[in-house]
Amino acid sequence: MITVWGRRNSMNVQKVMWALGEMGISYERKDVAGSFGLPEAYTRINPNGVVPGIVDGDLTLWESNACVRYLARTYGQGTLWPTDGIALAHADQWMDWASSSVNPPFFQIFMNMIRLPADKADTTQIEAGVRNCARVLMILDTHLAHRRYVAGDALTMGDIPLGAMMYRYFTLDISRPSLPNVERWYEHLVERDAYRKHVMIPFGHNADQWLVEEQKNAGIQ
Ligand SMILES: N[C@@H](CCC(=O)N[C@@H](CS)C(=O)NCC(=O)O)C(=O)O
């Protein structure tokens, strides 16, 4: 039984939960971080005090992409972990790209629109985030023109970090460029039970609603 530590509304926790859901692996999730606080038992697992952290037998692991890679490599050979070397390299590439190129501008949008109180929000940062997300997502759009998923015909771990962000990107009240291929890919994700269960979790429209939504998820596996 794998233990996942992390509040259900964390995008980084959602990557791990979605991966587990896709592979049908049993797990127990514990509510920590955000309004649930950080018990000492958890800071011993992840000294960074951020979520997720996972425990699988003797293994303790943190960093969401490393957790997804570990789970895919261990339990998802031929599915989330492609056996074809080229598909595997591409899956890896898009995971890193999600963190290095899409997450920073997306974080600017999400922090300022949802997480911070309205009087602390910086509209200049929101505008920069919207502009830069549009710019980088057009790279993904071009890539997806001839592929169903980022590493080929089937869902792999390469879709997970990007896909976890896209629910929020397409739900927020922001302007978006025309991204027909990204939208088609996103529609495929939305058809997946594990994506709907673990990623499409309402987050409200402001910092107060965020906290209410966070607590609604308490105890849900
Ligand atoms: N690079 C880390 C980032 C982890 C991270 O920043 N997690 C956020 C939630 S998405 C967190 O724990 N924030 C503090 C909190 O919720 O109390 C990862 O990918 O696991």
Instruction: Classify the C-alpha dihedral 172-173-174-178 as positive or negative.
Output: positive
What is the CA(15)–ligand 1 centre distance, in A? Answer: 12
Strands (E) across 26-146 are located at 27-30, 53-56, 59-62
What phi and psi, each to the nearest 5 degrees, are found at residue 149? -125, 170
In what order do the strands lie in the sheet containing 53-56? 27-30, 2-5, 53-56, 59-62
What is the CA(149)–ligand 1 centre distance, in A? Answer: 26
pLDDT for res 210: 98
Atom of ligand 1 nearest to the CA of 10: 10
Q: pLDDT tens across 95-109, in order? A: 999 999 999 999 999
Place of tokens 């609604």: 216
Atom of ligand 1 nearest to the CA of 63: 20
Share of the chain above pLDDT 90, in %: 100
The whole-number average pLDDT for the span 79-92 is 98
Nearest CA to ligand 1 atom 1: 63
- Residue 185: pLDDT band (50, 70, 90) is very high
**Letter string b/e over residues 137-167, b meaning 16 or more CB atoms within 10 A of that residue's CB:** beebbebbeeeebbbbeebbbbbbbbbbbbb
Domains defined along the chain, listed by start: 2-79+208-216 (3.40.30.10), 85-198 (1.20.1050.10)
The whole-number average pLDDT for the span 119-141 is 98
**Does ligand 1 have an atom closer than 6 angstroms to the CB of 10?**
yes
Place of tokens 């993904």: 140
**Does ligand 1 have an atom closer than 6 angstroms to the CB of 63?**
yes
Q: pLDDT tens across 8-60, in order? A: 999 999 999 999 999 999 999 999 999 999 999 999 999 999 999 999 999 99
pLDDT for res 121: 97
- Residue 149: pLDDT band (50, 70, 90) is very high
Q: pLDDT tens across 187-221, in order? A: 999 999 999 999 999 999 999 999 999 999 999 99
